[in-house]
């Protein structure tokens, strides 16, 4: 499949220097991935300028260079240059053109917000399946095309990868696709040129301020998905001021909006909720009609996700009775308040959750504490090379637990102990109620050792991830697997000896454990 330059750049304000009838065989934005016949887009990034790699792209066989300024290179006489104002936007539109606008043939749902995106997209997929649709999912946990599951590198892929993915979904006859849309993706034009049937907003809490710098800039990035740039039906949670502002804007634009929230003025809001360790009983007021049902997810924040998914289902034209039927059999979302299964657990409940923002950690702890007859122990850390300003706030949030263990998350290129020091700086009010263990496995083992029957352990921050990023290494590490192993060690046939050994770990204060390091 190929497109001429004229076809590829249709609808893009550009100047073609060369042959507009040249056929392009593919789209590349990294010179080391250029294939002969590709168009190479010179993306101006934060640390590198793609124009500097133009010669490398030509040497690898690129036939077309897409640039924001004229480049003068050796041996480029047969190369067509296309000059555009913004190579990122141009690449997104060109990618949609190249794959014949695949999102137009799919009922595409875009979900944005700080927390809840993954759970909501999985719930929407499940609802659509029960309604008889062939479905797809794009997001943090991975990619689903029908029954095929794949891993993903980004929450929202780069535009050529995203449009190629949509084309695969279209060709696999997917009817409905639910996608997480990150603020980065919106700001970096990854979704530009994509057509949405429904866009939904969950909430806005502190995250990514290392990138956006201010809450206002963070919000405006999210808000783009609800602007005239992305016409669609809307679902908006109005429990925070950001959702209320989105509602105001969409109302002015006369968009079709379904509002959700605990706020009783929301079109979908709870009339009654009862929380249990294994499920939630919910009576929803949906535009004046009441629907009562149980679903196998726990916690207040999952009520928010269920309401959002309900609203999306309505906007997709799915009858409320079908939505209720689907939610009653809702799937466990990987790494989202996922209970660890072990042959021997000693009466201790261990949950793994992706919570990596202060708000998400607070909500996860609140949900677990409401279901726990004993104490709640929290194991958590913060990622490196990410928003450092939230670290002390995360530490403070963790003090809601009866006991907290600060450990390493994905330190990336930062010193894990320096990250931990940032976290601990916010925990001054909890002296004697937390400790530090930089080794994540030992931290999980310590939490299990501290737990008694009836207690719960929350392991937060990594959720579904089966790796740990340390420097330039990707280490195999899955909180769910490690926790199951440690439960078995602590409460299996040799439990007494193992637990005696664990009692020596880390101590009762805040001094980092040094054994074996």
**Of 305, 327, 349, which one is at a domain's C-terminal end?**
327
**Residue 107 and residue 94 share a domain:** no
Q: Across-strand partners of 179?
A: 110, 138
In this structure, what CATH number is given to the domain that contains residue 85?
3.40.1390.10
Q: What is the pLDDT of residues 379-432, one digit of tens each?
A: 999 999 998 999 999 999 999 999 999 999 999 999 999 999 999 999 998 989
In this structure, what CATH number is given to the domain that contains residue 160?
3.40.1190.10
Asked, for residue 110, whether it belongs to a domain, the answer is yes
Asked, for residue 510, whether it belongs to a domain, the answer is no
Number of independent structural domains in the chain? 3
Checking if the pLDDT of 263 tops 90, the result is yes
**Residue 7 and residue 146 share a domain:** no
**Residue 189 and residue 41 share a domain:** no
Average pLDDT over residues 197-213: 79
Can you tell me the distance from the alpha carbon of 356 to that of 146, in angstroms, rounded to the nearest whole number? 29
User: What integer pLDDT is reported at residue 422 of this predicted model?
Assistant: 97
Q: Count CA atoms closer than 13 A to 212's CA, side-chain side.
A: 22
Percent of residues, the chain, with pLDDT higher than 90: 82
User: What integer pLDDT is reported at residue 493 of this predicted model?
Assistant: 64
Asked, for residue 261, whether it belongs to a domain, the answer is yes
**Residue 361 and residue 257 share a domain:** no
User: What integer pLDDT is reported at residue 181 of this predicted model?
Assistant: 96
Checking if the pLDDT of 513 tops 60, the result is no
Write the CA distances from 75 to 21, 37, 58, 59, integer angstroms: 20, 16, 8, 9
Task: Classify residue 285 by burial, with Cβ atoms within 10 Å: 0-12, 13-18, 19+.
Answer: middle
Note down the domain range covering 381.
Answer: 338-502
Asked, for residue 23, whether it belongs to a domain, the answer is yes
Checking if the pLDDT of 511 tops 60, the result is no
Higher pLDDT, residue 279 or 1: 279
Residue 440: other Cβ atoms inside 10 A: 24
User: What integer pLDDT is reported at residue 384 of this predicted model?
Assistant: 96
Checking if the pLDDT of 208 tops 90, the result is no
**Residue 106 and residue 94 share a domain:** no
Asked, for residue 128, whether it belongs to a domain, the answer is yes
**Residue 159 and residue 45 share a domain:** no
User: What integer pLDDT is reported at residue 494 of this predicted model?
Assistant: 55
**Residue 257 and residue 342 share a domain:** no
Structure tokens at 93: 């539109």
Structure tokens at 497: 């000896």
**Residue 455 and residue 426 share a domain:** yes
**Residue 375 and residue 281 share a domain:** no
Checking if the pLDDT of 435 tops 60, the result is yes
Q: What is the pLDDT of residues 458-482, one digit of tens each?
A: 999 999 999 999 999 999 999 999 9
Asked, for residue 517, whether it belongs to a domain, the answer is no
Residue 396: what are its φ and ψ, rounded to 5°? -65, -40
Nearest to 130 by CA among 338, 310, 334, 336: 310
In this structure, what CATH number is given to the domain that contains residue 433?
3.90.190.20
**Residue 217 and residue 173 share a domain:** yes
> Binding site membership for meso-2,6-diaminopimelate: which residues?
386, 409-412, 461, 465
Structure tokens at 454: 């009836």
User: What integer pLDDT is reported at residue 22 of this predicted model?
Assistant: 86
User: What integer pLDDT is reported at residue 277 of this predicted model?
Assistant: 82
**Of 298, 327, 356, which one is at a domain's C-terminal end?**
327
Checking if the pLDDT of 499 tops 50, the result is no
pTM for the model: 0.85
Checking if the pLDDT of 500 tops 80, the result is no
**Residue 261 and residue 124 share a domain:** yes
Can you tell me the distance from the alpha carbon of 179 to that of 232, in angstroms, rounded to the nearest whole number? 14
Asked, for residue 515, whether it belongs to a domain, the answer is no
**Of 39, 73, 98, which one is at a domain's C-terminal end?**
98
Write the CA distances from 65 to 69, 75, 159, 171, 459, integer angstroms: 11, 13, 17, 29, 48
Average pLDDT over residues 71-93: 87
Nearest to 294 by CA among 317, 319, 323, 328: 328
Can you tell me the distance from the alpha carbon of 513 to that of 515, in angstroms, rounded to the nearest whole number? 6
Least confident of 74-83, 190-199, 496-505: 496-505
User: What integer pLDDT is reported at residue 163 of this predicted model?
Assistant: 97
Checking if the pLDDT of 516 tops 50, the result is no
**Residue 264 and residue 119 share a domain:** yes
Can you tell me the distance from the alpha carbon of 460 to that of 474, in angstroms, rounded to the nearest whole number? 19
> Binding site membership: which residues?
31, 113-119, 155-156, 182, 190, 386, 409-412, 461, 465
Which residues 6+ apart lie within 8 Å of 5 measured at CB? 16, 18, 19, 20, 21, 22, 24, 39, 64, 80, 82
Structure confidence at residue 505 as a pLDDT band (50, 70, 90)? very low
Percent of residues, the chain, with pLDDT higher than 70: 93
Checking if the pLDDT of 169 tops 60, the result is yes
Higher pLDDT, residue 291 or 19: 291
Q: What is the pLDDT of residues 98-107, one digit of tens each?
A: 999 999 999 9
Structure confidence at residue 61 as a pLDDT band (50, 70, 90)? very high
Asked, for residue 333, whether it belongs to a domain, the answer is no
- What is the distance of C-alpha 22 from the center of its chain? 39
Structure tokens at 491: 């409460």
C-alpha torsion angle, residues 462, 466, 470, 471 (rounded to 10): -110
Can you tell me the distance from the alpha carbon of 121 to that of 135, in angstroms, rounded to the nearest whole number? 11
């Amino acid at each position: 499949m190929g497109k001429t330059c004229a076809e590829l750049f249709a609808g893009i304000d550009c100047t073609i220097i060369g042959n507009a009838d040249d056929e392009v065989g593919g789209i590349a934005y990294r010179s080391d991935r250029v294939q002969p016949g590709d168009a190479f887009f010179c993306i101006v990034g934060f640390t590198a300028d793609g124009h500097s790699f133009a010669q490398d792209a030509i040497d690898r066989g690129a036939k077309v260079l897409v640039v924001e300024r004229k480049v003068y290179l050796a041996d480029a006489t047969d190369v067509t240059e296309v000059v555009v104002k913004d190579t990122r936007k141009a690449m997104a539109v060109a990618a949609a053109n190249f794959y014949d606008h695949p999102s137009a043939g799919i009922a595409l749902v875009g979900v944005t917000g700080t927390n809840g995106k993954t759970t909501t997209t999985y719930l929407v997929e499940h609802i659509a399946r029960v309604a008889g649709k062939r479905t797809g999912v794009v997001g943090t946990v991975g990619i689903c095309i029908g029954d095929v599951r794949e891993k993903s590198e980004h929450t929202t892929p780069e535009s050529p990868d995203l449009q190629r993915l949509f084309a695969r979904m279209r060709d696999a006859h997917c009817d409905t696709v639910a996608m997480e849309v990150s603020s980065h993706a919106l700001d970096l034009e990854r979704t530009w040129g994509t057509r949405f049937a429904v866009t939904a907003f969950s909430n806005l809490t502190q995250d990514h301020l290392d990138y956006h710098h201010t809450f206002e800039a963070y919000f405006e990035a999210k808000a783009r998905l609800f602007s005239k740039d992305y016409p669609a039906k809307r679902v908006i949670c109005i429990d925070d001021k950001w959702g209320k502002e989105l509602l105001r804007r969409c109302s002015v634009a006369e968009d079709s909006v379904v509002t959700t929230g605990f706020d009783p003025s929301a079109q979908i809001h709870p009339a009654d909720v009862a929380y249990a360790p294994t499920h939630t009983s919910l009576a929803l007021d949906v535009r004046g009609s009441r629907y009562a049902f149980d679903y196998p997810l726990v916690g207040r924040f999952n009520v928010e996700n269920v309401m959002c998914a309900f609203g999306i289902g309505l906007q997709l034209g799915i009858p409320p009775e079908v939505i209720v039927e689907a939610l009653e059999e809702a799937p466990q979302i990987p790494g989202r308040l996922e209970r660890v299964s072990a042959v021997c657990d000693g009466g201790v409940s261990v949950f793994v959750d992706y919570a990596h923002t202060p708000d998400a950690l607070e909500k996860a702890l609140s949900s677990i504490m409401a279901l726990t007859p004993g104490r709640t122990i929290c194991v958590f850390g913060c990622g490196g090379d990410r928003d450092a300003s939230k670290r002390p706030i995360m530490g403070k949030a963790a003090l809601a637990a009866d006991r907290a263990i600060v450990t390493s998350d994905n330190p990336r290129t930062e010193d894990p102990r320096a990250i931990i020091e940032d976290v601990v700086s916010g925990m001054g009010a909890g002296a004697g109620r937390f400790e530090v263990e930089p080794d994540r496995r030992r931290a999980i083992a310590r939490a299990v050792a501290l737990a008694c029957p009836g207690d719960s352990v929350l392991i937060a921050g990594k959720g579904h991830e089966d790796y740990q990023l340390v420097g330039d290494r990707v280490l195999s590490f899955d909180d769910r697997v490690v926790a199951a192993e440690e439960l078995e060690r602590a409460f299996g046939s040799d439990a007494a000896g193992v637990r005696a050994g664990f009692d020596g770990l880390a101590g009762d204060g805040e001094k980092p454990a040094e054994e074996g390091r």
